[in-house]
Structure 1
Amino acid sequence: MNQLSGMLSIRNIGRVQSMAEATEASLVDKQYLEELVLEWRVQTCGWRMVENEVFEGLHPPSRIVRLRVECFGGDVAPSWFKPESLPKCEKSASFTVSLTQLVLWEVGIEELTTLADGVAMEASSSGGHSPLPSLASLRLFSCRKLTNLDHFLRPQYLPFIKSIEIVWCTSLLSMPVSSFEGFVCLQDLKIHSCWKLVCPSEAIVLPPSLQRLSICYCGELDKSFRPACLENLASLILVQLEGCHNVEVVALNCISTSVRCLVLRHCSELASIGGSQAALSSIQHVDISDCPKLVEVQQPLLNQGLSMPRDKELHTFLQYTW
């Protein structure tokens, strides 16, 4: 069984009763696996301690590239998720070194600082090296107990991240928006339905590499959104703002001519798009509706110009794709 390769999906982990039973799977010895899906679904009588112990026993192999965790009901990340817990001789073999994609779906952990603390410690002791050097995609969906990402969403921890999606994390209060500028490889940023996000004290700063931006129904996060944050984004092709009730201006004259998709919906305070009708008509796909103060545009305005096969990816990004 240790010769298994490709993807391995394990379901109904909630039926596993102990760490010893989980360890019998010997996942750590299956060195040819590239993708691992751990799915609880059936909860273990609601006992967080049992959930935590079982997760501890499911140590993935060091060469794993993609990890997806679904419906984990515990509240503590396993020690193998913390680089500082590994013996010095094992740190280079940690699965976090090769990991390129991390998906947490309905995971009960309240903070990712358990992982981030280890990253920070390791980065400091190794002269700046990150134990997550390959992570390119981070997706957090319906992690309803997650409250804080301030100590995780940092460029020094995720130096080559390309895609960040945070959806339905309804208890999330804080994230370090001013550090986003340091994600020099970031192409996709999607933050949806995180209603409790409080207003950060600083403006959101986006990296020039950004191609697609989607912020929808995210509490006070939109207070950090300034017209200038879309300037100098030469690669930007999609902008989606929905339920952003604190956004007053979206300056089309500051947005790159490369933008092909613009969606503005349910933005109650949006009063100006700061550009001519000609600038608006040059965008392939435009969807503007339910912005009562935006009198310069007749609403609803819908121009569906994304009809080519190459546009399928943009359509997918606009939707919940979980």
Structure 2
Amino acid sequence: MMEEHIEWLPHWNLQHLAIDSYRGKSCPSWLRPDCLKMLTSLELISCKNIQSLSFFEPPFPDSEESKNIYHLEVLHIRRCPNINWQGLVTLPSSLRRITLVNFGHSTDHFVSCFHDLTLLTYLKIQCELLTLIPLQVWISNLQSLEYLWVCWCSSLTSICVSEASSRHPVGVFSSLSNVTVSLCNSLLSLDEFLMPAYMPIVKIIHVESCRQLALLPIDELHSFSRLEELRIEGCPKLNMQRRMTLPSSLRKLRLINCPSIEYIDNSHLGSSMTLKGLSLRLDSCPDLISIVGAISVSEIQSGDINDCPKLMEITQPITRRPYWR
């Protein structure tokens, strides 16, 4: 579909709009919040030539009216690589779900504009050009965020608090329960991000296939008092000389291809608080020496332990199916 055709399409009471494989360079003139006041869902898919979206340009700068015209709750942009987000971006505070996959350039600026998104519960980002996630902006403005998925961000080097912001209280992700960071091969550290102080009620943490990742706060894990599921997989450069400590709430643990982990130490739990019913998978952890404390083989509900040659206290391989995959 070309630009001259799409101009005839809109209906003023439109609530759900999906534009797929549009070949024009500019968005239609009616794609503005003041023209589509009832719009709750916007999807742009495979619009490979489009260069800008006027929908997110402030229609009434410094006006209360600009806060009252938005009803958009769902934003999905996928395979639109030429959108330029360098200009002023105003995202509606009504948003509840955002999915961004290969969504243009100047993406660092776009994700720094996540202001007043107090209703947002779901955020998924997949973008090879993204280099930085401004943690202080997200924590301060995404109080309702429950699900965060960051994947295939091959240029992402940092998820951190800026030096200037570190001098002031940053806040917390008070609702965040599910976090996945996967296939971010330039990312070096998650020490500043995966902190119990930032996400006090998180239940699921997955860190997978981040080939350059060196730092994880494994000695802080026991402070995630509600953590139920932990997966660390395919991160061969992790420098985990610190002892991994686990919370008593943990029910599923998966460590695969983590060559530098040496100790899983849960002696802090004491004899009265053991990790009973744990589903455990340990595979290709060649430096793992010992599991100290509250994990015992007899209490593993389901599991698979294999290719951990220094772990002499357990006869390998051990398989109790159905183990967690």
TM range (shorter): 0.5 to 0.7
Higher strand share: 2
Does structure 1 conserve the Cα–Cα contact (< 8 Å) formed by 2:232 and 2:255? Answer: yes
1:132 matched to 2:199? no
User: What secondary structure does 1:245 align onto?
Assistant: coil
Unaligned runs of 5+ in 1: 45-49, 84-90, 124-129, 274-293, 307-313
Provide the residue aligned with 2:252 in structure 1.
212
Provide the residue aligned with 2:40 in structure 1.
4
1:110 matched to 2:195? no
Provide the residue aligned with 2:92 in structure 1.
29
* C-alpha RMSD of matched pairs (Å): 3.2
Unaligned runs of 5+ in 2: 1-35, 42-72
Does structure 1 conserve the Cα–Cα contact (< 8 Å) formed by 2:265 and 2:293? Answer: no
Shift of residue 227, structure 1, vs aligned partner: 7.5
2:184 to 129, 143, 153: 143
Number of residue pairs the alignment of both structures matches? 255
Does structure 2 conserve the Cα–Cα contact (< 8 Å) formed by 1:209 and 1:233? Answer: no
Alignment of 1:1-322 (within 5 A): 1=36, 3-4=39-40, 7-20=74-87, 23=89, 28-29=91-92, 31=94, 33-40=95-102, 44=105, 50-56=106-112, 61-77=117-133, 81-82=137-138, 94=141, 96-107=142-153, 108-114=155-161, 118=165, 121-123=168-170, 130-200=171-241, 202-220=242-260, 222-226=261-265, 228=267, 232-250=273-291, 254-255=295-296, 259-273=300-314, 294=315, 302=319, 304=321, 306=322, 315=324, 318=325
Worse-matched range after superposition: 113-122 or 133-142 = 113-122
User: What secondary structure does 2:286 align onto?
Assistant: coil
- Residue identity over aligned pairs, in percent, reads 19
Shift of residue 175, structure 1, vs aligned partner: 1.3
Worse-matched range after superposition: 112-121 or 1-10 = 112-121
Q: TM-score by structure 2 length?
A: 0.67
Does structure 2 conserve the Cα–Cα contact (< 8 Å) formed by 1:235 and 1:256? Answer: no
Shift of residue 269, structure 1, vs aligned partner: 2.2
- Cα offsets for 1:183-219 (capped at 9, x unmatched): 001001100010001133x311111000101111123
Q: TM-score by structure 1 length?
A: 0.68
User: Following the alignment from structure 1 to structure 2, what is the Cα–Cα distance between the partners of residues 302 and 149?
Assistant: 31
1:171–1:120 CA distance, 2 compared to 1 (3 A): farther
Aligned letter for 2:77?
I
User: What secondary structure does 1:97 align onto?
Assistant: coil
User: What secondary structure does 1:52 align onto?
Assistant: helix
Higher helix share: 1
Does structure 2 conserve the Cα–Cα contact (< 8 Å) formed by 1:150 and 1:175? Answer: yes
User: Following the alignment from structure 1 to structure 2, what is the Cα–Cα distance between the partners of residues 62 and 242?
Assistant: 40
Shift of residue 7, structure 1, vs aligned partner: 4.2
User: Following the alignment from structure 1 to structure 2, what is the Cα–Cα distance between the partners of residues 80 and 60?
Assistant: 13
